[in-house]
C-alpha cells in the first residue's frame, strides 16, 4: 500500500517531533520577555548583537550538511563501513570550518571597535558554534532516529534554559544570559557524542581528505542557498536599525519571530521525517517517492494556510497580552500572515523536490533561487524601509518568500523529469 497511509512510522515521528518542537520553540519564547525586562534595552542589545554574529558562524559550520549529509547517510544507513566513512568526512569538514570561522571572528574582535564593544557577549555565545559543529543532527536524521535527537535537544533546553530565571537578575548579567543559551547546544552535542560512541553507530575515525572535499563540494550549493536566505531573514533587522527606533525594531523582530516560530514548529518536523525518507525512497522506487511527495505537499499546504489564518485573526489580540509597547504589531502579523504558505510550499518544492528527489543539477537550481531572492530582498529592503520602516520590511520579507516559492515551483516543473 503506497502513500501516507503506509507510512505510519513517519506520521508518528512527525507528531512526536511537533510536540518536541513545540517545547523547543516555546522555551526560548518564554525566556525572551524575561530577558528583555531583566537586561534592559542595552543588555538585551548586547545579547541580540552577539546572537546575530554567532548565527553567521553557525551558518558557515553547518554549511548545508543538515541536508546533504542527511541524504548521504540515509543512502548508506544499512552499510556500516560507508556510514562510518561519510560520518567522519563530514565531521572533519565541519571541524575545519569551525577553525576557519573562529579565526576570522578572533581577528574581528581584535581589530573592529564595534566587535570589541560587544566582545564579552560574543565570546559568551561562541560555544553555540562549538555545539553546532558536533551535535550530528544530520546523522540522526539520516539513520532514522529523529525522535531520539529531538528528545536530547529538548532535555538540554529543559535543563539549562530555566537557569536563566535563576541567575540572570540585572543588566550586568547579559554575558551570562548569552552563555546559558549557548550551553544548550554544547549539552546536546555532548549527549549526542556519548550516545553514538556507546551504541557503536560508527567505526573508528578515518581521515579521507578526498572524501572530505567531496562532502564540501556537494554541500556547497546548499550552503550558498542558506547563506542567501540569511540575507533577508537576519540582515533586515540590521537595516531597520539604521532607519527606525529601537522600539519599532523590537516590535518588528517580535512579529517575525512569532511567524517563523509557528512555521518552523509545524514544518521542521515534517522536513526532518520526510526528507531522508524521500531521499532513500527516490533511489529504490521513484514512483512511490513522487506519490509521497505529492501528499506531503498537500499536507504542508493545508497546515500553512491554517497558520496564516491564525496569524491574521490573532494579531489584534497580542497588544493586550504583551503590553502597550507592542501596539501596532497586529499590522505586521497581518502582512506576515501570507508568508507561512509561501514558506511551506517553497520548502516542499525546494528541499524535498529539487534536493531529495533531484540530483546535483537540480540542487544547483535550488541554490540559484536563493541567490535571486537575496538580490531582490536587499533591493526591496533598501528601497522600502527608509520610507515605510517596519511595514516596508514586512512587505519585503513576505514578497521575497513568495518569490522563493514561485521560483522553486517553476524549477521543479521545468526539470520534472529529473525529479520524478
What does pLDDT average to over the chain? 82
Same-domain check for residues 197 and 303: no
What pTM does this model have?
0.68
pLDDT at residue 246 above 60?
Answer: no
The boundaries of the domain holding residue 377 are 245-420
Name the residue with higher pLDDT: 282 or 388.
388
Q: Which of 160, 186, 207 is the last residue of a domain?
A: 207
Higher pLDDT, 204 or 180: 180
Among 258, 255, 254, smallest CA distance to 35 is for 254
Looking at 207, 229, 261, which one is the last position of a domain? 207
The pLDDT of residue 4 is: 45
Residue 256 lies in a domain: yes
Distance CA 45, CA 28 (A): 16
Distance CA 81, CA 86 (A): 9
255, 316: one domain: yes
Q: Which residue bears the cell 533577508?
A: 232
Domain shared by 404 and 342, yes or no: yes
Whether pLDDT at 18 is above 70: no
Please state, in angstroms and rounded to a whole number, the distance separating the CA atoms of residues 370 and 310. 28
Of 157, 184, 207, at which residue does a domain stop? Answer: 207
Q: Are residues 80 and 188 in the same domain?
A: yes
* Same domain, yes or no: 294 and 388: yes
Phi, psi (degrees; rounded to nearest 5) at 145: -115, 50
pLDDT tens across 98-121, in order?
999 999 999 989 998 777 877 898
Instruction: Say whether both 288 and 192 belong to one domain.
Output: no
- The 10 Å Cβ neighbour count of residue 238 is 12
How many structural domains is the chain composed of?
A: 2
29 lies in some domain = yes
Residues 316 and 415 grouped into a single domain = yes
Q: 87 and 36 in one domain? A: yes
Taking the C-alpha atoms of residue 252 and residue 327, their distance in angstroms, rounded to an integer, is: 11
Cβ atoms of residues 168 and 35 within 8 Å: yes
- 110 with 249, same domain? no
Percentage of the chain exceeding pLDDT 90: 24
pLDDT, tens digit (0-9, with 9 covering 90-100), for 337-355 = 999 999 999 999 988 888 8
Amino acid at each position: 500500500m503506497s502513500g501516507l497511509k503506509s507510512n505510519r512510522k513517519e506520521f508518528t515521528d512527525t507528531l512526536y517531533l511537533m510536540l518536541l518542537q513545540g517545547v523547543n520553540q516555546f522555551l526560548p519564547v518564554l525566556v525572551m520577555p524575561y530577558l528583555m525586562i531583566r537586561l534592559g534595552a542595552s543588555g538585551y542589545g548586547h545579547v541580540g548583537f552577539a546572537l546575530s554574529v554567532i548565527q553567521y558562524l553557525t551558518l558557515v559550520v553547518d554549511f548545508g550538511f543538515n541536508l546533504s549529509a542527511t541524504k548521504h547517510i540515509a543512502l548508506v544507513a544499512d552499510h556500516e563501513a560507508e556510514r562510518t566513512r561519510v560520518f567522519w568526512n563530514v565531521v572533519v569538514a565541519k571541524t575545519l570550518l569551525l577553525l576557519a570561522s573562529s579565526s576570522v571572528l578572533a581577528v574581528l574582535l581584535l581589530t573592529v571597535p564595534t566587535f570589541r564593544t560587544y566582545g564579552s557577549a560574543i565570546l559568551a555565545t561562541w560555544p553555540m558554534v562549538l555545539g553546532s559543529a558536533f551535535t550530528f543532527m544530520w546523522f540522526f536524521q539520516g539513520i532514522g532516529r529523529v525522535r531520539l535527537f529531538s528528545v536530547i535537544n529538548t532535555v538540554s533546553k529543559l535543563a539549562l534554559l530555566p537557569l536563566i530565571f535563576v541567575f540572570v537578575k540585572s543588566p550586568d548579567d547579559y554575558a551570562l544570559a548569552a552563555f546559558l543559551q549557548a550551553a544548550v547546544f554544547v549539552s546536546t552535542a555532548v549527549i549526542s557524542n556519548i550516545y553514538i560512541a556507546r551504541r557503536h553507530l560508527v567505526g573508528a575515525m578515518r581521515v579521507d581528505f578526498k572524501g572530505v572535499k567531496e562532502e564540501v563540494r556537494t554541500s556547497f550549493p546548499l550552503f550558498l542557498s542558506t547563506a542567501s536566505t540569511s540575507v533577508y531573514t537576519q540582515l533586515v533587522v540590521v537595516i531597520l536599525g539604521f532607519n527606525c527606533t529601537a522600539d519599532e525594531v523590537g516590535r518588528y523582530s517580535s512579529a517575525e519571530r512569532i511567524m517563523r516560530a509557528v512555521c518552523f514548529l509545524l514544518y521542521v518536523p515534517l522536513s526532518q521525517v520526510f526528507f531522508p525518507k524521500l531521499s532513500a525512497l527516490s533511489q529504490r522506487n521513484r514512483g512511490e517517492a513522487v506519490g509521497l511527495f505529492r501528499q506531503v505537499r498537500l499536507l504542508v499546504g493545508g497546515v500553512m494556510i491554517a497558520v496564516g489564518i491564525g496569524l491574521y485573526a490573532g494579531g489584534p489580540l497580542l497588544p493586550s497580552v504583551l503590553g502597550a509597547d507592542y501596539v501596532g504589531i497586529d499590522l505586521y502579523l497581518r502582512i506576515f500572515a501570507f508568508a507561512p504558505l509561501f514558506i511551506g510550499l517553497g520548502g516542499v518544492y525546494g528541499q524535498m523536490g529539487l534536493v531529495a528527489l533531484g540530483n546535483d543539477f537540480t540542487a544547483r537550481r535550488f541554490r540559484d533561487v536563493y541567490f535571486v531572492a537575496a538580490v531582490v530582498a536587499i533591493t526591496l529592503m533598501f528601497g522600502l524601509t527608509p520610507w515605510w520602516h517596519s511595514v516596508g520590511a514586512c512587505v519585503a520579507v513576505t514578497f521575497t518568500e513568495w518569490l522563493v516559492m514561485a521560483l522553486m515551483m517553476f524549477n521543479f516543473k521545468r526539470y520534472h523529469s529529473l525529479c520524478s
